[in-house]
Chain A
């Protein structure tokens, strides 16, 4: 009967929180009303490496309304050091006098008003003992190390790749680079802390309600039960709010010292340094094939920048090694430590940069072979994971290519680079494979149903703009046989049952399965009570045959008992269940870990039975002015097969947003670093470019139907990240087609084409 939960899947459903959002009723963390808050403003370091030798606070303290200044000296010992997104050591802030990176939090100024706090912060004078910092790759003093394999990261390998590469008749050997990028969600990294005796409430936009709670409790030496996190709506996250950051404990401590609520709304430029980012990467890719196009060797080595103390890395070779049938594979990943903040998750963290290399390389190889790039992918398509031979749970890659190619008009492409032109504009067509592993985690939820046919589901889920409230409502409505409008969904509060971090595109799968399970438990309870009740119409019937449908409990013969009776029989006010769902393959203690903020995840690449990925194909037309070389993208077509689509309306938004971000990442986005000072320079939305409406014209998204019963019972693969993955290479490949110039370093700009 669990299938009933999917009854309403695939039908476009408007967001149940849409009205609240567009009318300003939706409360983002810093909108939550708290009594008499004081305001915090961060002082951040102006050097990237060295020590603080002292601070002159007198001028700041003289500002009317100033309440407190937290520094290393006043509060440094009150919190334990934080951990990074990988749960391992990371850069510190007020704990010591050490400066690890530009823009590190070094003091927190608290005042009666935001304006007074800001003014006082601007009056703090900091004395440093600076040391020469290392900014990035190739900077003197940057330390490279080979990333060791561990639970999280493997180095997929097979056969003898170097020998096969040497022997093959056609090959490419190329190096690629991707830049530093910042998420720049519109909502900043706010934190508001309120104490009630020993209990702390934190209002903070987060993708990890329980993770944040656990992290803060640990740093402050508190019982997790005494920490509550609230984050009902998140104004964009993209991974940037996927892990706790240093700021939170200092705001908690500030509030404790003042015995008053403290609210922090940091600035845009601080967002570049107090949270995470996508680190710059480098790639050495070697591909070899026979003349028929069959791949013989794939060697992919990556380099990623991280901070001094952290070894955070994304290791996208796990994905690139699995894309195409290839008998010989070798992969390796290196991390390079520099004087930078610790990077973290950003939309499709491993896949976006690593697939740029692989999919550019495939295009180069197709060119070498004189073969259509789609045909090269077709020849090397496979239904088994090339690394370990497991079957893909499903893989509709070529269906995606065919659907997108037809819509795009790929057949009109003259394969010769530089051959297509429209007046003053050079025209290029490019395409690339997109993919994202299908992940699912354990989750818990509380569901109640009233005799009047209204249901309430509660779970500490995360609405980061994806439409998470609505996905859950659709599932419960299906499972209980109600209308979507009959369902109330509460999320974003750690007092509710835990779900995993909203990352890795697991959210829809994890929350839908626990919601479905809760519905099934309610159905069972009602059915059992109904058949055991001698006076009822279902007395003695088989309870497994009774379904919840159209506001009633219904039998196979069409007899119906209204919910009023069916629910009223077991509960006067509401029937409530609390359920936990642990996906197959995860240890039974995975649910217990969830309550402690630990993340157990069934990952698409780590499973025993199958390898699970969603696939897609992305196409783009670029136009490049023959003289001044501006690059435009008038047409984008993407096709994706991601298993069950819960809500096509919000899925479309995710895919579309991902594709636009892909263009952004290929042509616009890069955080510029001053190499001498290891400091970010364009740390504002005027200089950190993202596309505007005028840059995106025709954009098509094709849903390629796909049923996958192996990925998980409801067949949900997740759609949040796949939309960006192929676009970087698709754009670069189109630029090559238009101009004959192969640009292997992103973003591609006018100066590269002059």
Chain B
């Protein structure tokens, strides 16, 4: 960890002002950005201790919880403030009833202590758990040092991506909540020096391509203020299934976020996300299309799973995740279909 300056922002305006100083600053697009917003700190401080991130200024945005910390549902959908804590959203009764996938994606993540600390905004910007990324004594990591290579490609890579990876980086996006947001077609509210904009959540994260060090489409200094999950007839029949080596306190090997609108046994609409498997929060439009208009039986579930993983490519140890990912989705679809709503 290196010395840094700590700034406390009382409100959004001050946060934006502090984060948009004379030097180019960004909260998340680049790990080497000299100014970083500080929310729960459970990703950021970790990476600073590991000497992976070396910001010069931290802008503490926790005081923005009053402005951007609410959890609210209305006819248009679910509105989640970026500074709501993971635990608050997971425990919210309306979220649990109407958007069970969202609640489960949060409560199956991390540990109670972390969920009490971590914010929703910080959560979607958590960084890969690729071990080579998290230890700077490894020289080859394109995400840390563009052009240095990728130590994971032929190394220990059991947990890394089989979808959306590139020759430059096979890191997976490790989070759960982001997968649910992607599946349900959420949008993200962003404030920057130039004002407010709304982005499809699916467009927040970028695929690694040949620039794995640029992880999101946030512009320098931009702040995430919240998320909106659109209402839909599928949100109640939804779940988040997480498969991992141990039963709690672990990232997903694979996960499936599934929401179904079923009428007389036939799928009218499906919303499907995959976690653990992909370079970014992954929505599978292919699987959704494969299900649309079909009765949900085992064959349909397998067809959807095959479609979802059709373009998957394994690297070394992670190759088993292609098959595990298929099975995870099959199981999630059958479970969602069997749900009483």
List residues of A whose CB falls within 8 A of some B CB.
Answer: 46, 115, 118-119, 122, 269, 625, 627-630, 632, 667-668, 672-677, 681-684, 686-687, 689, 691-695, 749-751, 754
Q: Contacts A627-B331, A628-B328, A681-B155; is A750 near B320 (CB within 8 Å)?
A: yes
Say yes or no for B253: interface residue by CB 8 A criterion. yes
Interchain pairs with CB closer than 8 A, number: 81
Interfacial residues of chain B within 216-263, with CB under 8 A of chain A in the complex: 243-250, 253-254
List residues of B whose CB falls within 8 A of some A CB.
Answer: 1-3, 51, 129, 131-132, 134-135, 137-139, 151, 154-156, 158, 243-250, 253-254, 320, 323-324, 327-328, 330-331
A750 touches B243 (CB 8 A): yes
B1 touches A692 (CB 8 A): no
In the assembled complex, which residues on chain A have CB atoms less than 8 Å from the CB atom of B253?
A: 750
Which of A46, A119, A692, A694 is B137 in contact with, Cβ under 8 Å? Answer: A46
Which of A119, A627, A683, A689 is B245 in contact with, Cβ under 8 Å? Answer: A689
**Cα(A569)–Cα(B124), bound, Å:** 77
**Cα(A681)–Cα(B152), bound, Å:** 10
Please name the residue on chain B nearest to A696 by beta carbon.
B247
**Cα(A683)–Cα(B138), bound, Å:** 13
Q: Contacts A46-B137, A118-B1; is A692 near B323 (CB within 8 Å)?
A: no
A-B contact list, 6 entries, CB within 8 Å: A119-B1, A630-B245, A681-B155, A692-B247, A750-B245, A750-B324
A682 touches B248 (CB 8 A): no
B135 touches A269 (CB 8 A): yes
**Cα(A674)–Cα(B135), bound, Å:** 13
In the assembled complex, which residues on chain A have CB atoms less than 8 Å from the CB atom of B245?
A: 630, 667-668, 689, 749-750
In the assembled complex, which residues on chain B have CB atoms less than 8 Å from the CB atom of A682?
A: 131, 156
Please name the residue on chain A nearest to B256 by beta carbon.
A628
Q: Contacts A686-B129, A751-B324, A754-B323; is A630 near B135 (CB within 8 Å)?
A: no
A692 touches B132 (CB 8 A): no
**Cα(A684)–Cα(B129), bound, Å:** 11
In the assembled complex, which residues on chain A have CB atoms less than 8 Å from the CB atom of B323?
A: 754
In the assembled complex, which residues on chain B have CB atoms less than 8 Å from the CB atom of A683?
A: 135
In the assembled complex, which residues on chain B have CB atoms less than 8 Å from the CB atom of A122?
A: 1-2, 51
In the assembled complex, which residues on chain B have CB atoms less than 8 Å from the CB atom of A686?
A: 129
B135 touches A689 (CB 8 A): no
Q: Contacts A269-B135, A681-B155; is A692 near B324 (CB within 8 Å)?
A: no
Please name the residue on chain A nearest to B137 by beta carbon.
A46
B129 touches A692 (CB 8 A): no
In the assembled complex, which residues on chain A have CB atoms less than 8 Å from the CB atom of B247?
A: 630, 632, 692, 694-695
In the assembled complex, which residues on chain B have CB atoms less than 8 Å from the CB atom of A115?
A: 1
B249 touches A692 (CB 8 A): yes
Interface of B is mostly: loop
In the assembled complex, which residues on chain B have CB atoms less than 8 Å from the CB atom of A625?
A: 331
In the assembled complex, which residues on chain B have CB atoms less than 8 Å from the CB atom of A687?
A: 129, 131
**Cα(A122)–Cα(B137), bound, Å:** 10
Which of B51, B246, B254, B327 is A694 in contact with, Cβ under 8 Å? Answer: B246
A674 touches B246 (CB 8 A): no
Q: Contacts A119-B2, A119-B3, A694-B246; is A751 near B129 (CB within 8 Å)?
A: no
In the assembled complex, which residues on chain A have CB atoms less than 8 Å from the CB atom of B151?
A: 674
In the assembled complex, which residues on chain A have CB atoms less than 8 Å from the CB atom of B320?
A: 750-751, 754
Cβ of B281 to closest chain A Cβ, rounded Å = 20
**Cα(A689)–Cα(B250), bound, Å:** 9
**Cα(A687)–Cα(B249), bound, Å:** 11
In the assembled complex, which residues on chain A have CB atoms less than 8 Å from the CB atom of B244?
A: 630
Please name the residue on chain B nearest to A267 by beta carbon.
B49
Please name the residue on chain A nearest to B320 by beta carbon.
A751
**Cα(A377)–Cα(B247), bound, Å:** 34
**Cα(A683)–Cα(B134), bound, Å:** 11
**Cα(A754)–Cα(B321), bound, Å:** 10
Q: Contacts A689-B250, A694-B248; is A628 near B155 (CB within 8 Å)?
A: no
In the assembled complex, which residues on chain A have CB atoms less than 8 Å from the CB atom of B328?
A: 628
B246 touches A691 (CB 8 A): yes
Cβ of B58 to closest chain A Cβ, rounded Å = 15
Please name the residue on chain A nearest to B159 by beta carbon.
A687
Please name the residue on chain A nearest to B330 by beta carbon.
A627
Cβ of A727 to closest chain B Cβ, rounded Å = 16
**Cα(A660)–Cα(B144), bound, Å:** 38
Please name the residue on chain B nearest to A123 by beta carbon.
B2
A692 touches B331 (CB 8 A): no
**Cα(A684)–Cα(B134), bound, Å:** 10
Query: In this complex, which of B51, B129, B131 has the most chain A Cβ atoms within 10 angstroms of its Cβ?
Result: B131
**Cα(A676)–Cα(B323), bound, Å:** 27
In the assembled complex, which residues on chain B have CB atoms less than 8 Å from the CB atom of A691?
A: 246
In the assembled complex, which residues on chain A have CB atoms less than 8 Å from the CB atom of B254?
A: 628
**Cα(A646)–Cα(B287), bound, Å:** 62
A630 touches B243 (CB 8 A): yes
Please name the residue on chain B nearest to A687 by beta carbon.
B131
In the assembled complex, which residues on chain B have CB atoms less than 8 Å from the CB atom of A749?
A: 245
A674 touches B155 (CB 8 A): yes
Cβ of A367 to closest chain B Cβ, rounded Å = 27
B243 touches A628 (CB 8 A): yes
Please name the residue on chain A nearest to B134 by beta carbon.
A684
**Cα(A672)–Cα(B151), bound, Å:** 14
In the assembled complex, which residues on chain A have CB atoms less than 8 Å from the CB atom of B250?
A: 689
Please name the residue on chain A nearest to B325 by beta carbon.
A628
**Cα(A687)–Cα(B246), bound, Å:** 11
B155 touches A692 (CB 8 A): no
**Cα(A119)–Cα(B51), bound, Å:** 9
Cβ of A615 to closest chain B Cβ, rounded Å = 30
**Cα(A691)–Cα(B250), bound, Å:** 10
In the assembled complex, which residues on chain B have CB atoms less than 8 Å from the CB atom of A632?
A: 247
Which of A676, A684, A754 is B324 in contact with, Cβ under 8 Å? Answer: A754
Please name the residue on chain A nearest to B317 by beta carbon.
A751
In the assembled complex, which residues on chain B have CB atoms less than 8 Å from the CB atom of A681?
A: 131-132, 155-156
A689 touches B2 (CB 8 A): no
Q: Top 10 nearest A-B pairs by Cβ distance?
A: A751-B320, A46-B137, A694-B247, A694-B248, A681-B156, A672-B156, A681-B131, A627-B327, A122-B51, A692-B248
A674-B156, A692-B248, A754-B327 provided; 14 other pairs, C-beta below 8 A? A46-B138, A122-B51, A625-B331, A628-B328, A629-B324, A630-B243, A668-B245, A668-B246, A676-B155, A677-B155, A681-B131, A691-B246, A692-B249, A693-B248
Query: In this complex, which of B135, B244, B246 has the most chain A Cβ atoms within 10 angstroms of its Cβ?
Result: B246
In the assembled complex, which residues on chain B have CB atoms less than 8 Å from the CB atom of A676?
A: 154-155
In the assembled complex, which residues on chain B have CB atoms less than 8 Å from the CB atom of A674?
A: 151, 155-156
Please name the residue on chain A nearest to B243 by beta carbon.
A628
**Cα(A267)–Cα(B23), bound, Å:** 34
**Cα(A754)–Cα(B324), bound, Å:** 7
In the assembled complex, which residues on chain A have CB atoms less than 8 Å from the CB atom of B327?
A: 627-629, 754
Cβ of B129 to closest chain A Cβ, rounded Å = 7
In the assembled complex, which residues on chain A have CB atoms less than 8 Å from the CB atom of B135?
A: 269, 683
**Cα(A691)–Cα(B249), bound, Å:** 10
**Cα(A695)–Cα(B331), bound, Å:** 21
In the assembled complex, which residues on chain A have CB atoms less than 8 Å from the CB atom of B2?
A: 119, 122
Cβ of B149 to closest chain A Cβ, rounded Å = 12
In the assembled complex, which residues on chain A have CB atoms less than 8 Å from the CB atom of B243?
A: 628, 630, 750
In the assembled complex, which residues on chain B have CB atoms less than 8 Å from the CB atom of A628?
A: 243, 254, 324, 327-328, 331
Which of B129, B139, B246, B330 is A695 in contact with, Cβ under 8 Å? Answer: B246
Query: In this complex, which of A118, A694, A750 has the most chain B Cβ atoms within 10 angstroms of its Cβ?
Result: A750
**Cα(A640)–Cα(B158), bound, Å:** 38
Cβ of A514 to closest chain B Cβ, rounded Å = 42
**Cα(A683)–Cα(B132), bound, Å:** 11
Cβ of A471 to closest chain B Cβ, rounded Å = 33
**Cα(A562)–Cα(B328), bound, Å:** 74
In the assembled complex, which residues on chain A have CB atoms less than 8 Å from the CB atom of B51?
A: 122
